[in-house]
Chains A and B, each alone.
Chain A
Amino acid sequence: MAFSPTVTNAVLAQGLVKHFKDVKALDGLDLRVPQGTVLAVLGPNGAGKTTAVRILTTLLQPDSGHAEVAGVDVVADPATARSKIGVSGQYAAVDEYLTGFENLDMIGRLYHLGRKRSQQRARELLAQFSLDDAGDRMAKTYSGGMRRRLDLAGALVADPPVMFLDEPTTGLDPRSRTDMWATIQRLVAGGTSLLLTTQYLEEADLLADNIIVVDHGKVIAEGTADELKAQVGGERLEITVSEGSDLPRAAQLLAPLGSADLTVREERRSLLVPVTGGAAVLAAALRRLDDADIAVGDVGMRRPTLDDVFLSLTGHAAEEPPGDGETPKDDKQEVAAR
C-alpha cells in the first residue's frame, strides 16, 4: 500500500454524502488535494463546505463515500488521521480564559509532544505569528485578527503534513484579512498541503493552486483560477460615465457590442460588458459614446474575475463578497485600501 497512488494525495474524498434530517448537505462530493498544494473549496453559505471539512477532520461521519487524509481512511482510523492534520475552524476555537501561551501549550500536550517541547513550540509559534507580546494575556483580550492567528497557530503546533482552514478570514476586517493571507502564503511556501474553504473569490484566487466551486453539496466546477475564468470566456469591458451623463442611453448604445448581457451599476455609474473583440471593441465603444456626447470617466478591459465565474455557473452571486460585490483585479491592494 505504501506505493499506492493515493499516497500522493494529501486529501482525497470520493462521493461524500451527508444528510442532516431532510437537508442534503453533501450530495456526492469529490475532491483531491495533491501533496504540497493548496485547494480552495469555494461556495456560498450552506453550500456544504464546512460539512466536508468536518468529515475530513473526523468530526462528522459521512452517510456514504470515502475520505482519506495522508493516505489514512478518516472513517476507519480516525485516531491516526488526527495525528496527520491541523485544523483551524470557522470561528476561532481558542479558549478565551487561557493565555495565548497556555492555549498552544495545552494543544502541544494533547498532541503528546511532552511538556518541554510543548512549551518551546508554543513560544516559537507565538513569535512566528507576532503574538509574543500578547502571549501571556488572556485570549479574551485579543482582537478578532489575533484570535484567528492564535487559532491558526494551534493548528500548526505538531507541524502536521495536512492543514484544514475553514473560512480563515470570515468576519475579519480588511487589514487583518490581508495579514492572514500573508501568513497563509508563508505557510504554504513551506510545502504544507492545505485545504481551505472560503466564500471570498479573491481569497481562492490569491491562495490556491486549484479551486473547486461547490453549490448544494456538490462540485459544479473545478480547475485553476485561470481555467475557471477561461470557462466564462472573453473579457470584461468596464466603462464609467461621468456625472450628469445619460447612463441608460449609454447602456443602450453598448448592448450590441457585448457577447452576452451587460450589467448596469447605477451606484457607480458604470457598465460591465462581456466582450470578445479586444481593443477593436474598446475603440468602437468609445466612438459610440463620443458620438452621443456621453462623457466617459474611466474605461478598462479586464479578464473575468471569479465573481463572474460564480455568477455564470450558479446563476446567483456568491454571498457576502467583501466590499460591495465587485472583485477588483488587484485584490490585495484594493482590499487593504478599503
Chain B
Amino acid sequence: MTVSNTLSDGLVVAKRNMIKIKRVPDILVFTTMSPIMFVLLFAYEFGGAIDQEGGGAGYREFLIAGIFAQTVVFGATFTGYGLAQDIEKGIIDRFRSLPMSPSAVLAGRTFSDVLYNVVTLVVMALTGLLVGWRIRTSVGEALLGFLLLLVFAYALSWVMAWVGMLVPSPEVVNNASFMVIFPLTFVANTFVPLETLPGPLKAFAEWNPVSAVTQAARELFGNIPAGAPAPETTSWALQHPALYTLLWAAAVLAIFVPVANAQYRRSISR
C-alpha cells in the first residue's frame, strides 16, 4: 500500500465520518452542551467565591482556556466511541474486507475528529466571548494557542482509538474513559489555580499534560493578567508549557499510532 493510497482512502473515511456528524447534529449539540454548561456553572457558581474582588470576571477569563482543554480531552472519547460503534455495526468488517489501505481507517477517523474539534472549539470560543473572555494578544498567537489544543487533542484521539478497539461495546468507551478523564481534567490548573491544591495533587497537576496545554493556551491568549506573579511552581513542565505539550503529544503519537494500527490489523473478533 502506497502512502497516496493511505491518504486518499483516509480522506474517503474522514468524509464519511463528517457526513455522519452533519446528519446527526445531536452528537455535536450534546458534546458542546456539556462544556457550555461547565462554563456557566463554573463561571457563575464558583467565580464569585474564587475571585471575590473582581466579581468573577477575572475567573471567567482564567477559566475559558481550561474549558477549551477539557472540551478537547472529552472530545477524544468520541474517537473511541465512533470506532467501537463502527465495529459493533459491522462497518469495520466491511472496511477490513476491502482492498483499501489498512492504516486509512484510523487515519481518517482521527483526522475527521480534528475537524470536529475545530467546530467545537469555535462554539466554545463564542461562548467564552459571551461571558467576557478576550484574546489579549495577537491573532497569530491566539491561532497558535488553538493549534496547540488541536495537536494535543489529536494525540489523545489515537489513545482513544486504541481503547475503542479493545472494549466490547461503545458504551464502555465512555464509562471507562471517564474514570481517567475526570481526574486528568480536574486535577490540573483547568478550573482552579494550582496553588490551592494539596501537596500530592499539586505534584500530579504540575506534570499533568492537561495543565501544560491549559497554561500554554492561557499564555498565548494573554489570559494571565499583567503583573500577576508567574505560577509558583518549580515544575519544568509549567515553565515551558508549550514545549512540554508538544513533547508529550509527540511521545503519545510515537507510541499509540503503531499500537492502534497493530490492534486494527489484528483480528477484531466479536
Residues of A in contact with B (beta carbons under 8 Å apart) = 20, 54, 57-61, 79-80, 82-83, 85, 87, 89, 91-93, 95-98, 102, 106-107, 109-112, 138, 154
Q: State how many angstroms separate the Cβ of A278 from the closest Cβ of chain B.
A: 50
Per-position contact with A for B90-106: 1 when CB-CB < 8 Å, else 0? Answer: 11011111111000000
Residues in A with CB closer than 8 Å to B180 are none
Q: State how many angstroms separate the Cβ of B32 from the closest Cβ of chain A.
A: 19
Residues in A with CB closer than 8 Å to B90 are 89, 91-93
Q: Whole-angstrom distance between the alpha carbons of A60 and B98 in the complex?
A: 14
| Partner among B1, B12, B16, B89 whose Cβ is within 8 Å of the Cβ of A79 | B1
A-B contact pairs, 22 of them (CB 8 A): A54-B267, A58-B97, A59-B267, A60-B267, A89-B90, A93-B89, A93-B91, A95-B20, A95-B89, A96-B89, A97-B20, A97-B24, A98-B16, A102-B16, A102-B19, A106-B15, A106-B16, A107-B94, A109-B12, A111-B98, A112-B99, A112-B100
Determine whether the beta carbon of B267 is less than 8 Å from that of A82: no
| Partner among B9, B99, B269 whose Cβ is within 8 Å of the Cβ of A60 | B269
Q: Whole-angstrom distance between the alpha carbons of A20 and B267 in the complex?
A: 12
Q: Whole-angstrom distance between the alpha carbons of A263 and B95 in the complex?
A: 48
Given known A109-B12, A112-B5, contact A89–B94 (CB-CB < 8 A): yes
Given known A79-B1, A89-B90, A112-B5, contact A59–B99 (CB-CB < 8 A): no
**Residue in A closest to B24 when the chains form the complex, CB atoms:** A97
Per-position contact with A for B1-32: 1 when CB-CB < 8 Å, else 0? Answer: 10001001100100110011001100000000
Q: Whole-angstrom distance between the alpha carbons of A93 and B270 in the complex?
A: 14
Q: Whole-angstrom distance between the alpha carbons of A97 and B91 in the complex?
A: 12
Q: State how many angstroms separate the Cβ of B106 from the closest Cβ of chain A.
A: 14
| Partner among B19, B99, B267 whose Cβ is within 8 Å of the Cβ of A98 | B19
Starting from the known contacts A82-B99, A96-B89, A98-B16, 8 additional A-B residue pairs (CB-CB under 8 Å) come to A54-B267, A58-B96, A92-B90, A95-B20, A95-B89, A102-B16, A102-B19, A106-B16
Residues in A with CB closer than 8 Å to B96 are 58-59
Q: Whole-angstrom distance between the alpha carbons of A80 and B8 in the complex?
A: 19
Chain B's interface size range is: 20 to 34
Residues in B with CB closer than 8 Å to A80 are 99
Q: Whole-angstrom distance between the alpha carbons of A53 and B218 in the complex?
A: 55
Q: Whole-angstrom distance between the alpha carbons of A9 and B12 in the complex?
A: 34
Residues of B in contact with A (beta carbons under 8 Å apart) = 1, 5, 8-9, 12, 15-16, 19-20, 23-24, 89-91, 93-100, 267, 269
Determine whether the beta carbon of B95 is less than 8 Å from that of A110: yes
Q: Whole-angstrom distance between the alpha carbons of A40 and B96 in the complex?
A: 24
| Partner among A60, A91, A97 whose Cβ is within 8 Å of the Cβ of B19 | A97
Specify which of A61, A79, A87, A95 lies most central, judged by the most chain B CB atoms within 10 Å of its CB: A95
Residues in A with CB closer than 8 Å to B93 are 59, 87, 89, 93
Determine whether the beta carbon of A110 is less than 8 Å from that of B1: no
Specify which of A59, A79, A107, A110 lies most central, judged by the most chain B CB atoms within 10 Å of its CB: A110
Residues in A with CB closer than 8 Å to B95 are 110
**Residue in A closest to B89 when the chains form the complex, CB atoms:** A93
Residues in B with CB closer than 8 Å to A102 are 16, 19
Residues in B with CB closer than 8 Å to A98 are 16, 19-20
Q: State how many angstroms separate the Cβ of B26 from the closest Cβ of chain A.
A: 12
Residues in B with CB closer than 8 Å to A58 are 96-97
Determine whether the beta carbon of B89 is less than 8 Å from that of A61: no
Determine whether the beta carbon of A106 is less than 8 Å from that of B99: no
| Partner among B1, B12, B15, B94 whose Cβ is within 8 Å of the Cβ of A93 | B94
Determine whether the beta carbon of A97 is less than 8 Å from that of B5: no
Q: Whole-angstrom distance between the alpha carbons of A138 and B9 in the complex?
A: 22
Given known A20-B269, A60-B269, A91-B90, contact A111–B99 (CB-CB < 8 A): yes
**Residue in A closest to B5 when the chains form the complex, CB atoms:** A112
| Partner among A54, A83, A91 whose Cβ is within 8 Å of the Cβ of B99 | A83
Q: State how many angstroms separate the Cβ of B19 from the closest Cβ of chain A.
A: 6
| Partner among A82, A92, A95, A112 whose Cβ is within 8 Å of the Cβ of B97 | A82
Specify which of B5, B16, B267 lies most central, judged by the most chain A CB atoms within 10 Å of its CB: B16
Q: State how many angstroms separate the Cβ of B154 from the closest Cβ of chain A.
A: 23
Residues in A with CB closer than 8 Å to B1 are 79
Residues in A with CB closer than 8 Å to B23 are 97, 138
Q: State how many angstroms separate the Cβ of B127 from the closest Cβ of chain A.
A: 27
Determine whether the beta carbon of B100 is less than 8 Å from that of A110: yes
Residues in B with CB closer than 8 Å to A60 are 267, 269
Residues in A with CB closer than 8 Å to B16 are 95, 98, 102, 106
Q: Whole-angstrom distance between the alpha carbons of A240 and B96 in the complex?
A: 52
Q: Whole-angstrom distance between the alpha carbons of A332 and B16 in the complex?
A: 39
